[in-house]
């Protein structure tokens, strides 16, 4: 599902909401936000993305962002908020607090796992396919442009496919932990281009990683659902 | 006329020597297509163990740094005057400044590309030079009294300096470098720069990070991922044993003289 900042949009990470203390009684200890697993076993993306990559990328990097975020917000007004609320609040209108890097990376990585599936790739169909043809000229041109965004994000970051409320698509790239969510956009697909995302599998060959991602891993069903949700 | 022959002989010998030195340092040779080369490391790829593994050194040197050098050459081929009249250190220092851009008519996208690739070139050149075999160099053996006193006054000790460097390097989010820099007022400081920026960059480095690098450590993930995975702190804890204190001292003396030794001319 697409994340939207508009009120009442279904949260992508609803399972990570905290138990809230009940007013007027002794406060219930609030649970920290929890790490959501990818929607497939860690070896399910092989041979395109190794189990070892998932073990470290989800098990160490993603987990560390979550643990660090929880430590940072414990005992602060952000404790007890949803992940999306923490991301937006810590972005602080472009003057991010130290919490932002961790919170946004928690969000980004969950969005990334859910952008992939075993036996993924292929091509989108239906309204999404039509929009891609309309907005990029062809599916091939979209793929080239998406990969170019991933290639040209210098240093660490992400490449994104976004949709606006009218269904118009755009590709963007962000550095480090920045996410289009705080730029007022609705992402529907992402690829992580931090070196840790691909170094175990293809060393420095980011172009090969991006090609494999697009051709073999993208969960077009998930992207299509997010696309539909973005227009509601 | 023997004296003249001798003089000509000396001049020729000097030119040959300088050219050989230039080649060894990877500098443009002033001949042929006048491109930068990727100088060899002072140690074999496995010479940095146990701190850095040989595959990392190989990939880092040939693909990451080597790739940046190829990119710089490709860009500078379109700016022959810039290529032939400006040293790498000067280029890195001035890239992005209005006057520099105007003088050499550098397109905006080339400014960005030079920032990233020439930055990478000089960063890695400093990095290779500052490293030696694990646990073989000590501050006591190589630091002169002036630098030693300055380090002690600033951080208590060389170990204190390295602790502060590691802290800065650990706190850097994303890709980048941490440095000990010499500031124009004669002080030392620890700073970090994102991506392939360098403290010499007048236009792109944050003012608080400006200075001449004396030593730097790469914290792009490619610098440590194969051996340390996500545990950057473990890499840094080992990396400090590679510091070549003789080079730190030499870099300090060059910095005081307003110069920088980056391996490139």
Task: Dump pLDDT digits (tens) for A126-136.
Answer: 999 999 999 99
Whole-angstrom distance, CA of residue A15 vs CA of residue B100: 54
* pLDDT of amino acid B23: 62
The yes-or-no verdict on residue A22 having pLDDT over 60 is no
> Could you tell me if A200 lies within 8 Å of chain B, comparing CB atoms?
yes
Q: Best residue in B57, B58, B173 to probe A by mutation, most A CBs within 10 Å?
A: B173
CA of A51 vs chain B CAs: smallest distance (Å): 14
Which CATH superfamily, name and number, covers A1-24+49-232? Iron/manganese superoxide dismutase, C-terminal domain (3.55.40.20)
The yes-or-no verdict on residue A17 having pLDDT over 60 is no
B132-191 per-position pLDDT tens digit: 999 999 999 999 999 999 999 999 999 999 999 999 999 999 999 999 999 999 999 999
CATH topology of domain B48-264: minor pseudopilin epsh fold (3.55.40)
A53-81 per-position pLDDT tens digit: 999 999 999 999 999 999 999 999 999 99
Helix (H) or strand (E) holding B154: helix B145-155
> Do A82 and A13 form a contact (C-beta atoms < 8 A)?
yes
The yes-or-no verdict on residue B28 having pLDDT over 90 is no
> Do A134 and A201 form a contact (C-beta atoms < 8 A)?
no
Chain A residues closer than 8 Å to B229 by CB? 56, 60, 196
At A8, the pLDDT band (50, 70, 90 cuts) reads very low
> Could you tell me if B5 lies within 8 Å of chain A, comparing CB atoms?
no
What are the backbone angles phi and psi of residue A33, rounded to the nearest 5°? Answer: -60, 145
> Could you tell me if B220 lies within 8 Å of chain A, comparing CB atoms?
yes
The yes-or-no verdict on residue B31 having pLDDT over 60 is no
For chain A, what is the mean pLDDT?
90
Delimit the domains of chain B by residue range: 48-264
Instruction: Work out whether strand A157-163 and strand A169-175 pair parallel, antiparallel, or are unpaired.
Output: antiparallel
Provide mean pLDDT across the span B109-121.
97
The yes-or-no verdict on residue B261 having pLDDT over 90 is no
* pLDDT above 90: percentage of residues in chain B: 80
Q: What's the DSSP call for residue A32?
A: P
The yes-or-no verdict on residue B193 having pLDDT over 90 is yes
């Amino acid at each position: 599902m697409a994340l939207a900042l508009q009120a009442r949009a279904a949260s992508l990470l609803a399972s990570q909401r905290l138990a809230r203390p009940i007013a007027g009684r002794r406060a219930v200890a609030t649970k920290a936000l929890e790490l959501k697993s990818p929607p497939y076993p860690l070896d399910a993306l092989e041979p395109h993305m190794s189990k070892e990559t998932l073990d470290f990328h989800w098990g160490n990097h993603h987990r560390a962002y979550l643990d660090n975020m929880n430590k940072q917000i414990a005992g602060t007004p952000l404790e007890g908020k949803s992940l999306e609320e923490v991301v937006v609040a810590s972005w602080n209108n472009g003057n991010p607090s130290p919490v932002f890097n961790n919170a946004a990376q928690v969000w980004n990585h969950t969005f990334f796992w859910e952008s992939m599936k075993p036996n993924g790739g292929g091509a989108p169909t239906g309204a999404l396919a039509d929009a891609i043809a309309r907005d990029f000229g062809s599916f091939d041109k979209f793929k080239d442009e998406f990969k170019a965004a991933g290639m040209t994000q210098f240093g660490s970051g992400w490449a994104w496919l976004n949709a606006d409320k009218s269904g118009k698509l755009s590709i963007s790239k962000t550095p480090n932990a920045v996410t289009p969510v705080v730029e007022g956009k609705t992402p529907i697909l992402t690829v992580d281009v931090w070196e840790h995302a691909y170094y175990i599998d293809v060393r420095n060959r980011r172009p090969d990683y991006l090609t494999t991602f697009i051709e073999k891993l993208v969960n077009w069903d998930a992207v299509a659902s997010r696309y539909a949700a973005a227009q509601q | 006329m023997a004296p003249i022959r001798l003089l000509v002989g000396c001049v020729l010998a000097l030119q040959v020597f300088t050219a050989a030195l230039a080649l060894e340092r990877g500098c443009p040779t002033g001949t042929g297509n006048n491109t930068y080369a990727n100088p060899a490391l002072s140690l074999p790829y496995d010479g940095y163990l146990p701190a850095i593994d040989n595959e990392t050194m190989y990939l880092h040197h040939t693909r990451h740094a080597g790739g940046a050098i190829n990119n710089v050459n490709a860009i500078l081929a379109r700016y022959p005057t810039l290529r032939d009249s400006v040293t790498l250190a000067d280029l890195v220092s001035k890239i992005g400044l209005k006057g520099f851009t105007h003088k050499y008519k550098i397109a905006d996208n080339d400014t960005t590309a030079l920032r990233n690739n020439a930055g990478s070139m000089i960063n890695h050149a400093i990095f290779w030079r500052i490293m030696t075999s694990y646990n073989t160099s000590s501050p006591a053996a190589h630091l002169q009294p002036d630098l030693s006193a300055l380090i002690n006054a600033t951080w208590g000790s060389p170990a204190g300096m390295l602790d502060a460097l590691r802290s800065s390097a650990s706190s850097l989010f994303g890709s980048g470098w941490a440095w000990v820099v010499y500031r124009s007022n004669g002080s030392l400081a620890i700073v970090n720069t994102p991506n392939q920026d360098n403290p010499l960059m007048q236009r792109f480095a944050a003012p608080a990070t400006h200075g001449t690098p004396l030593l730097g450590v790469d914290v792009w993930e490619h610098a440590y991922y194969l051996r340390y995975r996500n545990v950057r702190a473990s890499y840094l804890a080992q990396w400090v044993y590679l510091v070549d204190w003789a080079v730190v001292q030499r870099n300090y003396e060059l910095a005081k003289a307003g110069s920088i030794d980056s391996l490139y001319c």
